[in-house]
Chain A
Amino acid sequence: METEDLASVLDATWFAADLAPQARGRLAALGRLEEVADGAIVVQEGTLCESLGVVVSGRIALRLSLPGGEDRTIITVHPGDIFGWSAILPQRIATASAVAVMPTTAVMFDGAELKRALAGDADLAAAIYERLLVSVARRLTATRTQLLDLYRPGNEPW
């Protein structure tokens, strides 16, 4: 897909919407649109996380494996949101598996390449890191609420 087309795809996501046109173009130049088949594992927990993805359509489940081999879905990532942020962290080890639970389209960014681009472009870095922070904070808020186990029996109205 052409960079311009990819930029418009990104513009439809909350993660990249409202970026300055130049920044969005720069980001689009680094990404590639990928189709992920239903059930495909995009990122494997505990392995090198190479790419950060922005979901365009479909759904990605982030799963942790539990002793005994059972997986637990911790959260699902929906259109507009990101997964695989470990790719731009220093250790780059995936802390969860990312599994497509339906046919999914995502814009994928090579973590090393994205990091280099951000290091060399302060304006782009400021914009992208802020959005990453929003995404992390949003997920942290969700996790806190899930920890409260609000719907457990006896903790609900009526």
Chain B
Amino acid sequence: MPAAYFLPRAELDRLFEALAVDGRRIIGPTIADGAVVYDELDSPAGLPHGWMADTAPGSYRLRSTGGERAFDYVVALTSWKRFTHPSLVPLTRSRRDGDQIVVEPIREDAPKLAFVGVRACELAALNIQERAMRAGPAGDPDHAARRDAALIVAVECAAATSTCFCTSMASGPEVDGGADLMLSELDDGFVVRVGSEAGAGVVGPLGLRVASPDAVDRAGTQVAAVRAAIGDPVPGDGLPERLRAALDHPHWAQVAERCLACANCTLVCPTCFCTSVGVASDLDGLDATTERSWDSCFSLGFGRVAGDANFRPKVRDRYRQWLTHKFSTWWDQFGSSGCVGCGRCIAWCPVGIDVRAELVAIAPATAPAGPIPWPLSPAEGRAPAALATAAPARHVIATVRSVMPETVDSATLRLVTTDEALLGARPGQFVMVEQPAFATPPISISRIRPDGLDLTIRSAGAATAVLTGLAAGAQVALRGPLGRGWPVEAAIGRDVVIVAGGIGLAPLRPVIEAVLAERPRFGAVRLYLGARTPHDRLFVAEMGEIAGRADVEVAEIVDRAGPEWLGRVGIVTQLFDQAKWDGSRATAFVCGPERMMQATVATLKGRGVDPAAMWLTLERNMACGVGTCGHCQLGPFFVCRDGPVFSVAELGTAFAREGL
């Protein structure tokens, strides 16, 4: 096969016809509402012949070139993710009939599309998004199907605009592969290179002549000129490390004064993949559909959790999250930059924030690269939980055998299931619990039984109110088990310290049961329990029984109490901050509100417990449970996928850092 063919300009319609066989629809650039967008094309006539886009921070203007070229516009307003990762995707359809529920995944056939005009940076973006959504531990079947059904016709850039910086991100402007067909547009036609069998199948029947050396040279000269014009505006060497070291840089606050948090940048970004899941239901709530829609880390509610607590309440926090994810923690998670330098976020920012300038201000090439706030890359040091058995849309219907009230607003659901994956859950894992017409909360497993699971749930919102109000015989739909659990095995041969705050005892109960089941294999076992009031204590009888054992030390304390309470009053750390035991031999398991865990970690360190032997479970907005929605990101981690159990050493200074 020759290195390149030549397609005369006048014969571009033949390529379109060849692409359109078997009902394949062609998506390409066209002009709409004063901008170049990607939309369906019937013929090359719809291409933006003779138009160029002049862009600058906060500015996009089409300009006529007076020529005939179709691909001088550089990049379109919209990106290809609109077709590979649509803004709205139905996920499940659920139905309630009395106690019975049915949850079915919705699978739409992926349309056969040909993307014409994909730039080098956009090709990189498609691959980056694929790594995030397809090569991850769970995989997104909708995205995979759409990518598989798409035929890519790349077009090398013949011009650059002032917002381009693909050269700094090593994503362009040359197209070096990765597409089915690769075109370079010249005045008289196109140099066509074939990148796949599918591409060869398209151009083969066209009987194109081999491209002349002159045409190939002109194409090379053209793209080289683009590279020279762009230069290297953002020195990339060491950028991820420099950004990590700049988490407290004062410039974040300066950017926040200009940023409107409008999310334009993430909407036009070709790699941003964050989503939320909404529920649409009939008025009677019996039939419902869940839908995934684009969301943005700039949204105020993106980091919000139960009780209206928000981990990123300030614009400064959200801008830092976006920028550090794109240029730093993306490397930890997916092995590449999350930015391809297309410049859309610069041009379409209504206040003209230029990410290149912000990077240079916050993490200049001369800045030191350390210290790195988190010491371990999840890709290097730890395996995510076994998610192969828990694909995003895999639901298991479980039946409520009984409901045990625990406190005035919490209850334990005893669920029966025969699902092997659920019965194989490990202490510390959680499940997503779906009910028709309600949001799907993550609920930790409070007991793993041979015939099912216990879920201890506090009524904190509409969905959990429904769950705690279920009666025996009702059904729920579960996805899971999800997340990485407690490493109980790491405590074998060592002392065990368990510190629980409030309903944080629920995910710790399986640890307690696992340790007591093999009590001789562990050293001293100490259990410290905190609660709001005496009435808010969980598993009272059970903990009382454990306290009666001679081989376990149990102490509890409440925040507030009336005179009828003769137990301890204060904070949970007072139970052991003056203790005499040697923490260097201990493995600790901690769960509770983050501020309580912060105090506990400080106290445990004071007792000599190694941060690598201190395990805690974090709360974040775990909306999907499998690391694809982006809500629960914390530094290099997706809490749902890489945690929620982490060691303090793994988290480094990401733990309890404001706004992260």
Q: Are B577 and A138 in contact (CB under 8 A)?
A: yes
Q: Are A81 and B504 in contact (CB under 8 A)?
A: no
SS class, residues of chain A in contact with chain B: loop
CB of B129 closer than 8 Å to a CB of A: no
CB of A2 closer than 8 Å to a CB of B: no
CB of A152 closer than 8 Å to a CB of B: yes
Q: Are B458 and A146 in contact (CB under 8 A)?
A: no
Give the nearest-CB partner of B457 in chain A: A158
CB of B17 closer than 8 Å to a CB of A: no
Q: A158-B430, A158-B503, A158-B507 are in contact. Are A76 and B560 (CB under 8 A)?
A: no
Q: Are B458 and A156 in contact (CB under 8 A)?
A: yes
Q: Are B568 and A59 in contact (CB under 8 A)?
A: yes
Q: Are B442 and A70 in contact (CB under 8 A)?
A: no
CB of A148 closer than 8 Å to a CB of B: yes
Interface residues in B280-317 (C-beta closer than 8 Å to A)? 306-309
Q: Are A158 and B458 in contact (CB under 8 A)?
A: yes
Question: Which residues from B are CB-within-8-Å of A81?
Answer: 578
Question: Which residues from B are CB-within-8-Å of A141?
Answer: 571, 599
CB of A154 closer than 8 Å to a CB of B: yes
CB of B207 closer than 8 Å to a CB of A: no
Q: Are B502 and A151 in contact (CB under 8 A)?
A: yes
Q: Are B595 and A73 in contact (CB under 8 A)?
A: no
Q: Are B563 and A70 in contact (CB under 8 A)?
A: yes
CB of B94 closer than 8 Å to a CB of A: no
* A72, A78, A141, A150 — most chain B CB neighbours (10 Å): A150
CB of A101 closer than 8 Å to a CB of B: yes
Q: Are B592 and A156 in contact (CB under 8 A)?
A: yes
Question: Which residues from B are CB-within-8-Å of A158?
Answer: 430, 442-444, 457-458, 503-504, 506-507, 619
CB of A29 closer than 8 Å to a CB of B: no
Min CB distance B442 to A, Å, is 7
Encode A115-143 as 1/0 by CB contact (under 8 A) with B.
00000000000000000000000100110
**Interface residues of A, CB < 8 Å — how many?**
32
**Interface residues of B, CB < 8 Å — how many?**
51
CB of B460 closer than 8 Å to a CB of A: yes
Min CB distance B656 to A, Å, is 13
Q: Are B530 and A151 in contact (CB under 8 A)?
A: yes
Min CB distance A148 to B, Å, is 6
Question: Which residues from B are CB-within-8-Å of A76?
Answer: 557, 567-570
CB of A80 closer than 8 Å to a CB of B: yes
CB of B108 closer than 8 Å to a CB of A: no
Q: Are A145 and B532 in contact (CB under 8 A)?
A: no
Give the nearest-CB partner of B460 in chain A: A154
A158 to B432 CA separation, bound complex (whole angstroms): 11
Give the nearest-CB partner of A102 in chain B: B566
Q: Are B563 and A75 in contact (CB under 8 A)?
A: no
Interface residues in A58-73 (C-beta closer than 8 Å to B)? 59, 61, 63, 70-73
CB of B161 closer than 8 Å to a CB of A: no
A71 to B618 CA separation, bound complex (whole angstroms): 36
Q: Are B458 and A151 in contact (CB under 8 A)?
A: no
Give the nearest-CB partner of B594 in chain A: A157
Min CB distance A1 to B, Å, is 23
Could you tell me which A residues sit within 8 Å of B by CB distance?
A: 14, 59, 61, 63, 70-76, 78, 80-81, 101-102, 138, 141-142, 145-146, 148-158
Show 24 A/B contacts (Cβ-Cβ < 8 Å), sorted by A: A72-B562, A72-B563, A73-B563, A73-B569, A75-B569, A76-B569, A141-B599, A150-B593, A151-B502, A151-B592, A153-B458, A153-B460, A155-B307, A156-B460, A156-B501, A156-B503, A157-B444, A157-B592, A157-B594, A157-B617, A157-B619, A158-B458, A158-B503, A158-B504
Could you tell me which B residues sit within 8 Å of A by CB distance?
A: 306-309, 409, 430, 442-444, 457-461, 501-504, 506-507, 530-532, 536, 557, 559-563, 565-571, 573-574, 577-578, 591-596, 599, 617-619
Task: Pick the 7 closest A-B CB pairs, nearest first.
Answer: A154-B307, A157-B619, A151-B532, A151-B502, A150-B593, A101-B566, A14-B578
List 6 other contacts, CB 8 Å, given A73-B563, A158-B430.
A61-B563, A76-B569, A78-B568, A78-B574, A157-B504, A158-B506
